């Protein structure tokens, strides 16, 4: 969980990536932009070629470019957060 102490209720929602091949997770303990950045950097560094949208307002993380749900969940968990798969 984030310890940055800069949590803000004011966030700008980001558009979710669209299309097949997008995996989504709900991350309830992603509470601010710093959390979103940490998750984004962790996934993109571990899985080059992925594109991540992390929105702390909606608690959603969407990943394009990988179909390995277990690997993404493990990366988010290793970054200190608790991902829950969102199924369509």
What is this structure's pTM? 0.79
Please say if the pLDDT value at position 85 is more than 70.
yes
State residue 87's pLDDT score. Answer: 77
State residue 76's pLDDT score. Answer: 98
pLDDT, averaged across the chain: 85
SS3 55: strand
Q: Which CATH number fits domain 22-86: 1.10.10.10, 3.40.50.2300, 1.20.120.80, 3.30.70.100?
A: 3.30.70.100
State residue 10's pLDDT score. Answer: 39
Instruction: For the chain, give every domain's residue range.
Output: 22-86
Q: Is 88 exposed, middle or buried (0-12, 13-18, 19+ CB in 10 A)?
A: exposed
What span, in angstroms and rounded, lies between the C-alpha atoms of 52 and 63? 5
pLDDT band at 2 (very low <50, low <70, confident <90, very high): low
> Sign of the C-alpha dihedral, residues 72, 12, 80, 83?
negative
């Amino acid at each position: 969980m984030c310890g940055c102490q800069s949590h803000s209720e004011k966030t700008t929602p980001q558009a979710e990536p669209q299309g097949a091949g997008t995996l989504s997770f709900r991350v309830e303990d992603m509470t601010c932009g710093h959390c979103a950045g940490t998750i984004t950097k962790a996934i993109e560094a571990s899985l080059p070629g992925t594109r991540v949208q992390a929105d702390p307002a909606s608690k959603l993380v969407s990943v394009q470019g990988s179909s390995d749900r277990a690997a993404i969940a493990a990366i988010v968990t290793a970054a200190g957060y608790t991902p829950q798969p969102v199924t369509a």
